[in-house]
Amino acid sequence: MKIIDVKPVRVNSFLYVKVFTDEGIIGLGESGAWGFLDASAEAMESFKTYLIGKDPLTIEHHWQYMYRCFHFRGAAVMGAISAIDIALWDIAGKYYGVPVYQLLGGKCRDKIRTYYHVSGETTDELINCVIKAKALGYNAVGHLSPFLDEPRSVPYFESYANMINNAVDRVRLIREAVGDDVDLCLELHRRLKPGEAIAFAHKVEPYTPMFLEDPVIPDNLDSMGYIAQHSNVPIATGERIHTIQEFEMLLSRNAMSYARTSVCVCGGISGAKKIAAIAEAHGALIVPHNPLSPVSTAACMQVAACVENFSIQELPDHDGISATERFTSSQAVEMKSFSQKDMVNWTPTVTNGFAELPIAPGIGIELVDDAEILFPYKRRTINTRLHIDGSVVDQ
């Protein structure tokens, strides 16, 4: 079997790759470089020149070749490698007639614990969203920003005392509303500085959040380690880094209890498995990052099924627009103006907070015919929030 074509496929606000073989098997993968998908698509075109004529089943060799060929990386390049890697595993699963997790050592669990995305521009909206998640049967919620999901078009200002105390009080109100049966995964979106993050961690600790995610920008590994060492609340991070070496350096600094592996940007299924093994040696758990489409969900679930130190799977609402679009929009958007479910032939079934494993060969999902025509591609706009004084705010 040989690879005969590699085709980037742009659909709505997502970027996929299809890898074609001379035996008619087609692999599907997704890039997680969601802000720079056009650059990632061009990286796919470059890797295509290497992949044509190759055996798609020598996955590890192709991973090493693409990863090491130019010694330049970054989200766009790693998103392309990740998408191609997922597609090659998809081909392998279809070739052997089994789900990918069967090729990776078999399943460690029969179903996948998930957390439901919640959001709110006001305290009441956020609390009601968490209550809704519990009513739907979920036992964990994530993407929960105690600092709210206000539109990026609104200039930001809060006093330090109000910023910390209002956020902590929201967590208190949520905990009182849903009790201890629902785990709270707090998403801080890199909003804080190390000292602020430590102060927040101490004040929110009585309400037992499952973890604090990305309290500061991920660029400085030592800062994340410093926060983790001064916080009794576990730290989750990693969704914006790309290499196994970066994860190893974070883990060696005891900077995370939960590794947020972005399967569609950290090297695909192969990269996520490598990171999981390093994390296991450090006693850390895996929480796959998944703000993308159902294709990403299918790939993440292959990893979640076969990794012993898996904890919980991020699961966005595939009934509406993408999570990245919802949370980076400059103004309110119509959540149901587009359904991701219409693009694909599978989305997970969730019962009492646990998703059923995909059982079809490969990663277990396909795009509908002519998806790129039915759901035209739209470039993401550059948009970030500004402070009332005109400076840039992390949100």
**What does the pLDDT read at residue 41?**
98
* 3-class DSSP state of 338: coil
pLDDT in tens, 258-310: 999 999 999 999 999 999 999 999 999 999 999 999 999 999 999 999 999 99
Q: Which pLDDT score, from 0 to 100, does residue 331 have? A: 57
Position 208 scores a pLDDT of 98
Look at residue 325 in the predicted model and tell me its pLDDT. Answer: 77
| Residue 334 pLDDT class (50, 70, 90 cuts) | low
Buried b / exposed e over 139-177, threshold 16 CB at 10 Å, is bbbbbbbbbbbeebeeebeeeeeebbeebbbbbebbbee
Residue pair 196/220 in contact (Cβ under 8 Å)? The answer is: no
Which pair of tokens denotes residue 359? 């059982």
Taking the whole predicted model, whether its pTM rises above 0.95 is answered as yes
| Catalytic hit among 117, 289, 318, 387 | 289
The answer to whether residue 333 scores a pLDDT higher than 70 is: no
Q: Each residue of 21-42: pLDDT tens digit? A: 999 999 999 999 988 999 999 9
For the question of residue 202 being annotated catalytic, the response is no
Residue 165: its pLDDT value, please? 98
Residues in the chain: 395
Contact 315, 138 (CB under 8 A): no
Q: Which domains does the chain have, with CATH numbers?
A: 3-98 (3.30.390.10), 103-362 (3.20.20.120)
Other Cβ atoms closer than 10 A to 345: 12
Task: Based on the residue annotation, tell me whether 71 is a catalytic residue of this protein.
Answer: no
- Residue 368, pLDDT score: 98
Tokens 């990794």 — which residue? 307
Q: What is the pLDDT of residues 372-390, one digit of tens each?
A: 999 999 888 888 999 999 9
Catalytic residue among 71, 189, 282, 318: 189
Name residue, tokens 């032939």.
Answer: 345
* Nearest residue to 380 via CA among 12, 4, 131, 28: 12
pLDDT in tens, 47-99: 999 999 999 999 999 999 999 998 888 999 999 999 999 999 999 999 999 99
Alpha carbons 325 and 381: distance in angstroms, whole number: 10
